[in-house]
Amino acid sequence: MVTLKQIAEELGISVTTVSKALKGYKDVSKKTKKLVKETASMLNYKPNSFAVNLRTKESKTIGLIIPEIVHHFFSSVIKGIIEQAEKKGYLVIILQSNESYELEKKQIDLLLSKRVDGILISLANGTGDYKHLTEIIEQETPIVMFDKIAKVVQCSKVIIDDRKAAYQATKHLIDVGCKRIAHFRGPLLPQNSIDRFLGYKQALTDHNLPYDSSLVYLLDDMSFEEGAFFANQLLIDHKDVDGIFINTDLVAIGAISEFNKKGIKIPEEINIIGFSNWFMASVISPSLTTVNQPGFEMGKKAFKILYKEIKDKKKNKTISHKEIVLDTELVIRESTN
Amino acid sequence: MVTLKQIAEELGISVTTVSKALKGYKDVSKKTKKLVKETASMLNYKPNSFAVNLRTKESKTIGLIIPEIVHHFFSSVIKGIIEQAEKKGYLVIILQSNESYELEKKQIDLLLSKRVDGILISLANGTGDYKHLTEIIEQETPIVMFDKIAKVVQCSKVIIDDRKAAYQATKHLIDVGCKRIAHFRGPLLPQNSIDRFLGYKQALTDHNLPYDSSLVYLLDDMSFEEGAFFANQLLIDHKDVDGIFINTDLVAIGAISEFNKKGIKIPEEINIIGFSNWFMASVISPSLTTVNQPGFEMGKKAFKILYKEIKDKKKNKTISHKEIVLDTELVIRESTN
DNA sequence: CTGAAAGCGCTTACAG
DNA sequence: CTGAAAGCGCTTACAG
């Protein structure tokens, strides 16, 4: 690998001048600049980023921790982040927490000791303690949380209004005439499953429907299989249910598949609404009414905010945290009347 | 951030000894070691990876270039790679080529100048020239290609036998009685769409079915929409077709959706077989017969080989390239008789 | 306009 | 068992 020193020797000038010429410093003569640049490209010189990092104390690399990569919503977020980062000359190291608090903690440690310039994170379902997050903040590494966040942690956040979106979804079921509405909710810890549950509950109350906790099913891994399982369970427990608000499209599609199998007519016998607007929602039969959740935009926005914080930190500006709430919208399809 | 120097000053010993103690060198007394380690953890010391990289000339980071992240097969591969890498203490920088040759080239340059320890790549559909790849090899950066490879490039590869798998898929259609079999093929450049096409053609020939090039449809972006579009086109062009071998499940699902819409019975009127065994294949109606392509394993294997090459290079061993062919299998479901 | 020098924070060959 | 010294390849404040 070619170094500055080699270029300098080649031309019989100093390393300092070579470095400056390459970086376009004004105090280098045009002649020298031209010569240096030509020689550099001829020798295929590439600055040693390890040395540059050490000197400049930044790596132009950020870390991203995500609960699960093989997931349409999250892979869309990743895509948004990577694209935006690339535009600004940043690279992205991706880690997957597998919804585990322990792993998430280890990975943050890893990223911190790699000295990434910033961290983007969506919390694991298992995360109920935030010491590992406040440690990042204490170390003054910029961090932006998205989608699955911790409200109490003082940092920038990019989210949707889960509560409002869930309220609208539930209200849609009420509007089409449902009287007994079940909810397949996500795990207990994540803020978004809490908020979606609260939105559901609020909508019932506001429209004079009794809240019945036995109609709320607590899911664990949010899979297709769980959707099918609880759809079946619901048929056993509550024959009278005429609508379900389901936390995630994948689960909803599992439920639809089970109802199809059992010959339950959707939406005639039961209305179903999902969440996220995974593109398969438009493809299955009946197609799924759902809430559109803008993953790609969320990723882009999250990086933009992180980028600004990284720059501000470099300039020693005080960082003011932002909370961005992206819009969602109801997408009405065949699974609701 | 705490440095070795600070620990050394704290204890009144030299930086050398601190460094050695922390790394468990045998020529440091137990007492000193204990003291140093305690102090280090008390001060929350984390080695500055920039300095370590510069000294050791390795970053424990690899680069991954993938055509498209939001894609079930590729996100499974990514998951396999990241998991395996983490086990060995490696981090993964992910870049997305968007199937573009130009982007792919730029990204390789980026990774090379970041001095990643190795590169994992699945080629873009637009890649027909391999200079950027041979450059990696000339620079002696280990590289492993997977899934979409360039046969002529001298490096390790992890693939499936696309030709054989396509042959089996087509043969399955023949076995269930199809006489006029169409093929929705992928773009012209990628080796895997070439091989799948060749497997299809060979199966026809071997079973005395005439090859008719008008039955081969050339797809571009391999989307759901394209599947629907060409399914419709096929109905216009060739009413007599009784089977289709489709390059990818997503496209096949688009086709199924279109046939469903048009009231064409699957498999009674037309048999369909896909490729990749995306989990949605088991969910749609009718469920899709397909070829299982082990993405997660492919990712794991690709990293393992890269890891070995990185280690071998470090030991100045000569690197012998491997070509691993992973098994595929036919998964028979409702879309074929 | 050019360059000598210091220093980023480590690691390791070498001396004692 | 301990440590002084060199060096990885840059950047930049400073002197001339």
B36-CA/D3-C1' distance, Å: 15
User: Cβ of residue A14 near strand C, that is under 7 Å?
Assistant: yes
Nucleotide whose C1' lies closest to the alpha carbon of residue A7: D9
Average pLDDT value for residue range A59-72: 94
Q: Is the pLDDT of residue B177 over 90?
A: yes
Residues 6+ apart with CB under 8 A from B327: B160, B294
* Phi, psi angles (nearest 5°) of residue A272: -130, 135
Encoded tokens for A296? 């790609």
Identify the band that residue B184 occupies on the pLDDT scale cut at 50, 70 and 90. Answer: very high
CA pair distance B292, A68, nearest whole angstrom? 22
Query: Taking CB atoms and an 8 Å cutoff, what residues of chain A touch B95?
Result: 82, 86, 91
Cβ contact B191:B198 at 8 Å: no
Question: Which nucleotides of strand D lie under 7 Å from a protein CB?
Answer: 1-5, 7-13
A53:B53 CB<8 A: yes
Residue type, B307: Y
Q: How far is CA B109 from CA A194, A323, B53, B91, B126, in A?
A: 45, 36, 19, 19, 17
Output DSSP code: residue A26. T
Residues 6+ apart with CB under 8 A from B199: B162, B163, B164, B165, B166, B167, B168, B169, B170
CA-based nearest residue to B245, from B276, B210, B221: B276
B22-CA/C16-C1' distance, Å: 23
Cα angle B66, B70, B71; round to 5: 80
Average model confidence (pLDDT) across chain A:
94
| Closest Cα in chain A to B68 | A79
Tell me, rounded to whole angstroms, the distance of Cα A73 from its chain centroid.
8
Question: Who among B50, B69, B112 is closest to A53 (CB)?
Answer: B50
Q: Is the pLDDT of residue B139 over 90?
A: no
Identify the band that residue B329 occupies on the pLDDT scale cut at 50, 70 and 90. Answer: very high
Q: What is the pLDDT of residue A270?
A: 97
Quick one: which residue's CA is nearest to C2's C1'?
A17
Cβ contact A92:A35 at 8 Å: no
Q: Is the pLDDT of residue A264 over 90?
A: yes
CA pair distance B45, B28, nearest whole angstrom? 19
Of all residues in chain B, the percent with pLDDT exceeding 90 is 84
SS3 A263: coil
Q: What is the pLDDT of residue B319?
A: 83
Q: Is the pLDDT of residue B153 over 90?
A: yes
Q: What is the pLDDT of residue A285?
A: 87
* Residues of A 47-86 whose CB lies less than 7 Å from any atom of strand D: 47-48, 50-52, 54-56
CA pair distance B329, B200, nearest whole angstrom? 16
Highest mean pLDDT among B18-22, B138-142, B266-270: B266-270
Query: Taking CB atoms and an 8 Å cutoff, what residues of chain A touch B112?
Result: 46
Q: How many CB atoms lie within 10 A of CB A307?
A: 21
pTM listed for this prediction: 0.92
Q: What is the pLDDT of residue B25?
A: 86
CA-based nearest residue to A296, from A329, A322, A274, A326: A326
Identify the band that residue B138 occupies on the pLDDT scale cut at 50, 70 and 90. Answer: confident
Cβ contact B273:B55 at 8 Å: no
Average pLDDT value for residue range A289-298: 97
Q: Look at A10-14, A157-161, B59-63 and tell me which has the smallest mean pLDDT.
A: A10-14
User: Cβ of residue A236 near strand D, that is under 7 Å?
Assistant: no
Q: What is the pLDDT of residue A47?
A: 93
Identify the band that residue B201 occupies on the pLDDT scale cut at 50, 70 and 90. Answer: very high
Q: Is the dihedral of CA B89, B93, B98, B104 positive or negative?
A: negative
Q: What is the pLDDT of residue A217?
A: 98
Cβ contact B78:B146 at 8 Å: no
Quick one: which residue's CA is nearest to D2's C1'?
B17
- Tell me the longest C-alpha to C-alpha distance in chain B: 88
Query: Taking CB atoms and an 8 Å cutoff, what residues of chain B touch A47?
Result: 113
Of all residues in chain B, the percent with pLDDT exceeding 70 is 100
DSSP per-residue codes, B22-40: HTT-TTS-HHHHHHHHHHH
Best residue of A57, A69, A136 to probe chain B, by most B CBs closer than 10 Å: A69
* Domains of chain B, earliest start first: 4-47 (no CATH), 57-160+295-329 (3.40.50.2300), 162-293 (3.40.50.2300)
B313-CA/C11-C1' distance, Å: 20
Q: What is the pLDDT of residue A287?
A: 94
User: Cβ of residue A36 near strand C, that is under 7 Å?
Assistant: no
CA pair distance A73, B237, nearest whole angstrom? 37
Closest chain A C-alpha to B203 CA, distance in angstroms? 32
CA pair distance B166, B132, nearest whole angstrom? 30
Closest chain A C-alpha to B60 CA, distance in angstroms? 10
pLDDT digits (tens, 9 = 90+) for B61-117: 999 999 999 999 999 999 999 999 999 999 999 999 999 999 999 999 999 989 999
Question: Which nucleotides of strand C lie under 7 Å from a protein CB?
Answer: 1-5, 7-13
Average pLDDT value for residue range A187-195: 94
Q: How many CB atoms lie within 10 A of CB A206?
A: 12
Encoded tokens for B27? 């020529």
Q: What is the pLDDT of residue A25?
A: 86
Quick one: which residue's CA is nearest to D3's C1'?
B14
CA pair distance B124, B65, nearest whole angstrom? 9
Tell me, rounded to whole angstroms, the distance of Cα A58 from its chain centroid.
24
Quick one: which residue's CA is nearest to C12's C1'?
B16
pLDDT digits (tens, 9 = 90+) for B1-43: 889 999 998 899 999 999 999 988 888 888 889 989 999 999 9
pLDDT digits (tens, 9 = 90+) for B208-253: 999 999 999 999 999 999 999 999 999 999 999 999 999 999 999 9
SS3 B257: helix
Average model confidence (pLDDT) across chain B:
94
Tell me, rounded to whole angstroms, the distance of Cα A219 from its chain centroid.
21
**Gyration radius of chain B's alpha carbons:** 26
Encoded tokens for B214? 């008008």
Of all residues in chain A, the percent with pLDDT exceeding 70 is 100
The CB-side HSE value for B62 (13 A sphere, CA atoms) comes to 31
Identify the band that residue A309 occupies on the pLDDT scale cut at 50, 70 and 90. Answer: very high
Average pLDDT value for residue range A258-265: 95
Q: What is the pLDDT of residue A29?
A: 87
